[in-house]
Chains A and B, each alone.
Chain A
Amino acid sequence: MARILQLDEAIAELVHDGDTVALEGFTHLIPVAAGHEIIRQRRKDLTLIRMTPDIVYDQLIGAGCARKLIFSWGGNPGVGSLHRFRDAIQNSWPVPLEIEEHSHAGMANRYAAGASGLPFAVLRGYAGTDLPEQTDTIKTIECPFTGQRLAAVPAVNPDVGIIHAQQADRAGNVQMWGITGVQKETVLASARSLVTVEEIVDELTPRPGAVVLPQWVVTAVAAVPGGAAPSYAQGYYERDNAYYQQWDPIGRDREQFENWLETEVFGTERSAR
Chain B
Amino acid sequence: MSSPEFTADEMMTVGAARSLRDGTACFVGIGLPSTAANLARRTHAPNLVLIYESGTLGAKPGRLPLSIGDGVLADTADSVISVPEIFNYWLQPGRIDTGFLGGAQVDRFGNINTTVIGGDYANPKVRLPGAGGAPEIAASCREVLIVMRMNPRSFVEKLDFITSVGYGTGKGDREALGLRGRGPVKVITDLGVLEPDPDTCELTLTQLSPGATVEQARKAVGWPLKAVDEPAMQQPPTEAELTVLRELKTTIEGGAK
Contacts and interface: CB of A to CB of B under 8 A. Distances in A.
Residue of B53, B69, B139, B179 ringed by the most chain A CB atoms within 10 A: B69
Residue of A85, A105, A245 ringed by the most chain B CB atoms within 10 A: A105
Contacts of A72: 130-132
Contact of B129 (A75, A127, A149, A181): A75
A126 B179 CA distance: 10
B54 interface: yes
B162 A130 contact: yes
Nearest to B257: A238
Nearest to A232: B71
Contacts of B54: 26-28, 179, 181
Given A27-B68, A28-B69, A123 B165 contact: no
Contacts of B136: 103-105, 123-125
A184 B177 CA distance: 33
B96 to A, nearest CB: 13
A245 to B, nearest CB: 7
A123 B136 CA distance: 10
B82 A181 contact: yes
A87 B227 CA distance: 41
Interface residues of A, number: 57
A71 B45 CA distance: 35
A241 interface: yes
A241 B255 contact: yes
Secondary structure at the A interface, as helix, strand, loop or mixed, is: loop
B76 to A, nearest CB: 12
A179 B55 contact: yes
B101 to A, nearest CB: 13
A129 B164 contact: yes
Contact of B66 (A85, A185, A234, A239): A239
A148 interface: yes
A134 B127 CA distance: 14
A104 B133 contact: yes
B7 interface: no
B69 A123 contact: no
Interface string B136-167: 10011000000000000000000001111100
B238 interface: no
Interface string B168-196: 10000110011110000000000000000
A253 to B, nearest CB: 17
B131 A101 contact: yes
Interface stretch (B10-18, B87-95, B203-211): B87-95
Interface of B: 30-31, 53-56, 65-71, 73-75, 79-80, 82-84, 87-88, 91-92, 115, 121, 123-136, 139-140, 161-165, 168, 173-174, 177-180, 254-255, 257
21 contacts: A27-B67, A28-B54, A74-B130, A75-B129, A78-B66, A82-B129, A104-B53, A104-B83, A105-B87, A108-B88, A123-B88, A124-B139, A125-B136, A128-B162, A131-B163, A178-B80, A182-B84, A232-B71, A238-B257, A239-B70, A240-B255
